[in-house]
A and B are shown apart, each in its own frame.
Chain A
Amino acid sequence: MGQPTGWGRLKRMRWRLFARRLAILIASLLIASFVIFAALYLAPGNPVAALSGGRPLPPGSIHVLDQRYHLNEPFLTQYWYWLDNALHGNLGISIALRENVSTLIASRIWTTAGLVLYASVIIVVLGVGLGIVSGLRPGRLDTSTLVVTAVSAAIPAFVAAIALILLFAVKLRWFPALGNGTGLVSNIRHFTLPAVALAFASLAIVARVTRAAVRTESDREHVQTAVSRGIPDRYVIWRHIVRNAAIPITTITGITIASLIAVAAVVEVAFGLNGLGAYLVQAAQSKDIAVVQGISLVLVTAFVVVNLLVDVLYTVLDPRVALGGSPR
C-alpha cells in the first residue's frame, strides 16, 4: 500500500472535503443571489417601476437608478454589476426611506443575530440536554418527554409567541411583551420571550432526535461491554454514547439553527423587535425591492454559512466523514 496512513491522510481528506463544501457554498450563493437579482425582472412592469414600488419618480431619480443598475446593459452584465456592488457592501438605496440599504441593515442586524444566538443557546442546552437525559433513562421522564416534545414540535413560532406573551407578559408580568429594550440587562429581558418562542419547536425536534441517537448508541455492544467491565458511567456516557451520537445531534441542531434565521422574521414581528426580518416583512409589504433584495442576500448568506460550519464540524467530530466513510 503506497497510501500514506493516519493523520496525514486524514488531514488531506479533511481539506479536500472542506474545499468541496466551499465550492458548493459559492455555487449556492451565486444561484441564490441570481434568483434575488432576477426577482427585479420577474416583477410586473419594468425594473424602474419595481424599484420604485410603483411610486412616480422624478426624471432625476430615474437617471440615478439607470446609472446604478446599468439598466441599458445586457441582463447578465447588470447582474455582475449588482453582485460586485453587493460584495463591496453597497446594496442600493431604499426608495421608501431614501437611505442606504447597507446602513439600514447594519443598524438592525444585531437584533436578529442576538435573537438567533440566544435561541441557539436555548436549543443546544435544553434540547440536547433533555434528549441525553431522557435517552439515558427510560421510564416516566422519558415517556413524558416524548409526549411533550411531540406537542411542542407542532407549535409554530408565532403561536408560541402569543402563548408566551399571554402567560409571561400579561398574566405573570415577568417579561415585557414588546420592543427591544435598551442596555444589556433590559435587552436580555426583552429578548427572552422571543428567543424561547423561536427555539420552541426546534428544541423539541432536537430533543427527540438526540434521545433516539443516545438510545441507539446505548444499546450497542461496545457500550454494554464497557458497562460490564465496570468502566465508570460518566466515562461510558461521554466517550462511548454521546461521542458516537454526536453526528445525528449535530446534523439536526445545525439544520434547525440555520432555519431559525428565516423564522426569526415571524418572531420579530410578533414581539415588535426591530430586526432584519421584521424590516424585510415591512419592505415586502411596501414593495421596497432594493431592501428586500439586500436583506434576502444577507439572510441567505448567513443560512448557507451556518450549514457549511455544521459540515465542517462533522469532520472534527467524526473522522470517518472526511475519510469518505459513512457516518452512522
Chain B
Amino acid sequence: MSAVPLASEASPPGRALALLRATGPAGIASAIVLAVAAFAAVIGPLLAPYDPNLPNLALAWVGPVGGHLLGYDFEGRDVLSRLLAGAQTAMLGPLAVVMISVPGGTLIAVTAAWCRGASDAVISSGLNVLFAFPGILLALLAAAVFGAGLPAAVLALSAAYTPYVARVLRGAVLKERSQPYVAALEVQGAPATLICLRHLVPNIAPLIAAQATILFGYAMVDLAAISFLGLGVQPPTANWGVMISENQVGLLEGYPLPALTAGACIVVVVIAVNVLGERLFDQAQDARR
C-alpha cells in the first residue's frame, strides 16, 4: 500500500502531469507524438501548405518536387496537405469512441460492483453475452443500415467497446469497494453516488486513463479500417484510412508514397498510444499492489 486511499489533494491537471512524468522517457516521447498528432487534428487544415481537396489530374502521381515534400496523390492533390488535414478525422473519431465507451463502461462497472450480489451477477453475465459482437462487424452492420459515414461507425464501435471497458474495470472497482475507507464513509452516512464520484472513481482514475489510452489505439485502427473499406469517412474528405484505399492502386503502378505515408501516420500514432497505454497500465497496477 503505497498510495493514500483517499482522493489526492492535487488538482486534476497536476495529477495527470505527475502520472505522465512517472511513465519514463518512452512514455513522455509517446505523449509528445500524440500531442503533435492532436495539434495537427485541431489546426491541421490551417497548417496544410496547399488545399488538401484541390485535384489537378495533370499532376497525378507526381513524386516529391520543390515545395511538395511528399508529392501528389492519384488525383494530383498535395499528399502532405492531405496527411495534415486527414489527422482531424483520424484522431477525433477514436476520441469520440473513447468519450462514449469509457464513461459508459465505468458507469456499468461501478454500478455492478457497488451493488454486488444478484445485480452484479446479472450485469456480469449480460456483459459476457454482449461480448459476442466484434466491433468492426457491428460497424459494417451500422453502415448498411444508417449509411456509410463516421458517426455510424463511431456509435457502433462505442457500443461494442463499452462492455469490454466495463469487464476490465469491474474487477478493479470490486477490489476498491472492499477497502476499509469505503465502509468508513458508508458508516458516516455518505450517499453512494458521492462515495463513488468523489472517492472510488478518482482512486481508480489511473487505471481508467490507461484503459482509455489503450482503447483509443484500438478505435483508431478499427475506424481507419472502416474508412479503408469505404464505409467510414467519405472521400474527398482527407483521412488516413481513405488515403490508403484511394492510393492503393499506386502500389502496383510504382507510386507507393501516398499510400505508404498515410499508413505510416497511423502506425506511428498507434505505437505511441500503445506504449503510453502500456506504461500507464503497469503504473496503475504497481500503485494498486
A residues with a Cβ closer than 8 A to B are 24, 27-29, 31-32, 35-36, 39-40, 42-44, 50, 150-151, 153-159, 162-163, 165-166, 169-170, 177, 258-259, 261-263, 265-266, 269-270, 280-281, 283-285, 287-289, 292, 296, 299-300, 303-304, 307
> Which single residue of chain B is at the shortest CB-CB distance from A301?
B132
Q: A157-B225, A303-B134 are in contact. Are A162 and B143 (CB under 8 A)?
A: no
| Residue in contact with B231 in the complex, picked from A24, A153, A284, CB distance below 8 Å | A284
Tell which of B106-114, B175-183, B204-212, B270-278 binds the partner: B270-278
| Residue in contact with B221 in the complex, picked from A50, A156, A281, CB distance below 8 Å | A156
| Residue in contact with B244 in the complex, picked from A159, A262, A300, CB distance below 8 Å | A159
Q: B225-278: which have CB < 8 Å to A?
A: 225, 228-231, 241, 244-245, 248, 251-252, 254, 256, 259-260, 263, 266-267, 270-271, 273-275
Q: Which of A35, A151, A158, A170 has the most CB of B within 10 A?
A: A158
Docked-complex contact B134 and A262, CB < 8 angstroms? yes
Docked-complex contact A299 and B231, CB < 8 angstroms? no
Docked-complex contact B132 and A300, CB < 8 angstroms? yes
Docked-complex contact B251 and A165, CB < 8 angstroms? yes
Docked-complex contact A39 and B132, CB < 8 angstroms? no
Q: A263-B136, A270-B248, A289-B144 are in contact. Are A154 and B217 (CB under 8 A)?
A: yes
Docked-complex contact B140 and A166, CB < 8 angstroms? no
Q: A243 to B137, alpha carbons, bound, how many Å?
A: 34
CB distance from B260 to the nearest CB of A (A): 7
Q: A258 to B141, alpha carbons, bound, how many Å?
A: 18
Docked-complex contact A151 and B271, CB < 8 angstroms? yes
Kindly state whether residue B125 has any CB partner on chain A within 8 Å: yes
| Residue in contact with B136 in the complex, picked from A44, A163, A266, CB distance below 8 Å | A266
Determine the main DSSP class of A at the interface with B: helix
Docked-complex contact B133 and A300, CB < 8 angstroms? yes
CB distance from B115 to the nearest CB of A (A): 21
Kindly state whether residue B65 has any CB partner on chain A within 8 Å: no
Docked-complex contact A285 and B225, CB < 8 angstroms? no
Q: Which of B128, B132, B245, B248 has the most CB of A within 10 A?
A: B132
Docked-complex contact A162 and B140, CB < 8 angstroms? no
Docked-complex contact B225 and A166, CB < 8 angstroms? no
Q: A156-B224, A162-B260, A287-B144 are in contact. Are A265 and B251 (CB under 8 A)?
A: no
The 6 closest A-B pairs by CB, nearest first: A262-B134, A28-B132, A159-B263, A284-B144, A154-B270, A154-B271
Docked-complex contact A158 and B228, CB < 8 angstroms? yes
Q: A166-B251, A296-B141 are in contact. Are A28 and B221 (CB under 8 A)?
A: no
Q: What band does the interface of chain B fall in when counting residues whose beta carbon is under 8 Å from A?
A: 35 or more
> Which single residue of chain A is at the shortest CB-CB distance from B125?
A24
Q: A303 to B137, alpha carbons, bound, how many Å?
A: 11
Q: What chain A residues lie within 8 Å of B251 (beta carbons)?
A: 162, 165-166, 170, 177
> Which single residue of chain B is at the shortest CB-CB distance from A261?
B134
Docked-complex contact B271 and A304, CB < 8 angstroms? no
Q: B41-55: which have CB < 8 Å to A?
A: none
Kindly state whether residue B194 has any CB partner on chain A within 8 Å: no
Docked-complex contact A281 and B131, CB < 8 angstroms? no
Q: B137-162: which have CB < 8 Å to A?
A: 137-138, 140-141, 143-148
| Residue in contact with B259 in the complex, picked from A32, A162, A283, CB distance below 8 Å | A162
Kindly state whether residue B130 has any CB partner on chain A within 8 Å: yes
Kindly state whether residue B1 has any CB partner on chain A within 8 Å: no
Q: A50 to B141, alpha carbons, bound, how many Å?
A: 13
Kindly state whether residue B187 has any CB partner on chain A within 8 Å: no
Q: A31 to B129, alpha carbons, bound, how many Å?
A: 8
Docked-complex contact A28 and B129, CB < 8 angstroms? yes
Docked-complex contact B230 and A281, CB < 8 angstroms? yes
Q: A28-B131, A266-B229, A292-B140 are in contact. Are A166 and B270 (CB under 8 A)?
A: no
Q: A27 to B131, alpha carbons, bound, how many Å?
A: 11
Q: A234 to B227, alpha carbons, bound, how many Å?
A: 48
CB distance from B86 to the nearest CB of A (A): 14
Q: A158-B225, A296-B137, A300-B132 are in contact. Are A283 and B144 (CB under 8 A)?
A: yes
Q: What chain B residues lie within 8 Å of A165 (beta carbons)?
A: 251-252
Docked-complex contact A159 and B134, CB < 8 angstroms? no
Q: What chain B residues lie within 8 Å of A40 (beta carbons)?
A: 145
Q: What chain A residues lie within 8 Å of B244 (beta carbons)?
A: 158-159, 162
24 A-B interface contacts by CB (under 8 A) = A27-B125, A27-B129, A32-B132, A32-B133, A35-B138, A43-B146, A151-B271, A155-B270, A156-B225, A158-B225, A159-B244, A170-B252, A177-B251, A261-B134, A265-B229, A269-B229, A270-B248, A281-B231, A284-B140, A284-B144, A285-B230, A292-B140, A300-B132, A300-B133
